[in-house]
Amino acid sequence: MSYQVPTILVVGDLHFPFANAQALATMFRRTSELNITRVVQIGDLYDAYVFSRFPKALSRGMSGAEELARGEAQARRFWTKARTVWPQAKLTQLRGNHDIRAEKKIAALAPELMLLAHDKIQALYSFPGVTTHMQAADAVEIAPGVLAHHGHRAKLGDHMLYNNARTVVGHSHTGGVVYMSRKGATIWELNAGWLGDAKQGPFRYGEQQTQRRWTVGYGLIDAFGPRFVPL
């Protein structure tokens, strides 16, 4: 029997319902035979464009209600498939800056409505067999000495320096790995890239100069270290 290395799959920003369906299918196909022991979705599960400050015309006629319904349906299909493909894996959902757009808008306009919105927001991130960390700023230990959080800094490597630990992030959509020797130990940072579709209207806000650096792919961590797999 061949030895299968225990592997953590890190799924980058999905931005449902504006995900790259082809890239997502390719990721599942390429990783289905691996010994995945943990799946981490690094945050920005949803785009929540309806709650953004950008022109809603960019959503090309999709209503806010339709965006949320489509996004939730796609998120549930994603986690159902992950649970089916790797039934023994530990499943972890983080939240990112897009995921908290609703809370931020409600807090700015009518904070008392959070009492009504709380249960709906919780439901959007509740999936069978999945542990969800609702606080977007939380860093979660996904392996001994390895922290994961959505991230908030643009430069690859900044988070590992801030944490002084091996770190997994998303946020900037720029996949890759950097290493550094610090106090006699090697630390690294893995950015899992993203699995969104840059052709979708909601990603065309602003000048979008940074879009040229966005990289579609996913992250893997095993006994041989971290790596970004471009698609």
Per-residue pLDDT of the chain (231 residues; tens, 9 = 90+): 345 789 999 999 999 999 999 999 999 999 999 999 999 999 999 999 988 887 766 666 788 889 999 999 999 999 999 999 999 999 999 999 999 998 888 888 887 888 778 889 999 999 999 999 999 988 999 999 999 999 998 888 999 999 999 999 999 999 999 999 987 889 999 999 999 999 888 887 665 545 568 999 999 999 999 999 999
User: So what's the pLDDT on residue 108?
Assistant: 84
Q: What is the pTM of this model?
A: 0.92
The tally of CA atoms less than 13 A away on the side-chain side of residue 131 is 10
| DSSP β-ladder status, 7-11 and 36-41 | parallel
Q: Which helix (H) or strand (E) holds 187?
A: strand 185-191
Which tokens belong to 87?
Answer: 């039934």
User: So what's the pLDDT on residue 2?
Assistant: 45
Q: Are 98 and 48 in contact (CB under 8 A)?
A: yes
CA distances 81 to 13, 28, 69, 86, 142, Å, are: 17, 9, 18, 8, 21
Question: What tens digit of pLDDT does each residue of 150-181 get?
Answer: 999 888 899 999 999 999 999 999 999 999 99
For 16-25, give one letter per residue: b (16+ CB within 10 A) or e. Answer: bbbbbeebbe
Q: Which helix (H) or strand (E) holds 27?
A: helix 21-31
Task: Report the 10 Å Cβ neighbour count for 133.
Answer: 18
Question: Which domains occur in the chain, in start order?
Answer: 7-230 (3.60.21.10)
Alpha-carbon span 114 to 151, nearest angstrom? 25
User: So what's the pLDDT on residue 32?
Assistant: 96
Alpha-carbon span 200 to 95, nearest angstrom? 21
CA distances 34 to 8, 38, 143, 216, Å, are: 10, 11, 18, 20
Number of H helices, E strands in the chain: 5, 11
Alpha-carbon span 112 to 144, nearest angstrom? 40
Closest CA to 139 of 121, 123, 157, 159: 159
Residue with tokens 């700015």: 108
**Beta partners for residue 91, in sequence order:** 39, 130
Question: What tens digit of pLDDT does each residue of 77-102 get?
Answer: 999 999 999 999 999 999 999 999 98
